[in-house]
């Protein structure tokens, strides 16, 4: 029985192991996906106000951390105190800056939605047709 199986395998072409075949296919497929994702990300741009808030928040956190570290070193604080002071300062200020940034972003999103609604209403008035916001489904009455 073993001889017949061995003979049958000898006649077949050399198959690749499933792992090796799977890895080679994945490696070949990745570059195309990465290029598509990079292309999409390069086309997306955040509004200037959001970019400014993010950049200012990061810079402020870096300056705050450096200030706390330098001040702690100059006062002769222990390493544990230095790490504790810095981490608390970063967590507190980071949380506040995250809340502020989210408020700015949500306000910007809300204002753009309002602008879009106004634009749709204006276009609908110019064309004389009801806008998608004003359209409602008709109410059907039963006839007896």
User: For position 68, what pLDDT does the model report?
Assistant: 95
pLDDT tens by residue, 43-57: 777 788 888 889 999
**pLDDT by residue, tens only, the chain of 144 residues:** 555 555 555 555 555 555 555 554 445 555 555 566 665 667 777 788 888 889 999 999 999 999 999 999 999 999 999 999 999 999 999 999 999 999 998 888 888 888 888 888 888 888 876 555 555 565 667 776
Question: Which tokens sit at 110?
Answer: 């809300």
Whether residue 67 contacts residue 122, with contact meaning beta carbons closer than 8 Å, is answered with: no
Each residue's pLDDT tens digit, 73-98: 999 999 999 999 999 999 999 999 99
Other beta carbons within 10 angstroms of residue 102's beta carbon come to 11
Could you count the other beta carbons within 10 Å of the beta carbon of residue 68?
19
Torsion angle of C-alpha atoms 60, 62, 66, 68, degrees rounded to 10: 60
For residue 16 the two structure tokens come to 């690749």
Integer Cα distance of 92 and 54 in angstroms? 16
Residues in contact with 95: Cβ distance below 8 Å, sequence separation at least 6, in sequence order: none
Q: Where are the domains of the chain?
A: 45-130
């Amino acid at each position: 029985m073993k001889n017949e199986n061995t003979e049958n395998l000898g006649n077949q072409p050399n198959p690749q192991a499933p792992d090796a075949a799977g890895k080679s296919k994945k490696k070949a497929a990745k570059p195309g996906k990465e290029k598509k994702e990079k292309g999409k990300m390069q086309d997306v741009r955040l509004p200037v106000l959001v970019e400014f808030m993010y950049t200012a928040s990061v810079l402020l956190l870096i300056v705050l951390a450096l200030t706390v570290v330098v001040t702690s070193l100059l006062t002769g604080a222990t390493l544990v105190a230095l790490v504790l002071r810095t981490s608390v300062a970063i967590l507190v200020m980071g949380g506040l800056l995250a809340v502020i940034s989210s408020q700015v972003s949500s306000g910007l999103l809300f204002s753009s939605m309002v602008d879009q609604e106004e634009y749709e209403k204006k276009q609908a008035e110019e064309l004389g047709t009801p806008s998608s916001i004003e359209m409602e489904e008709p109410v059907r009455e039963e006839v007896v």
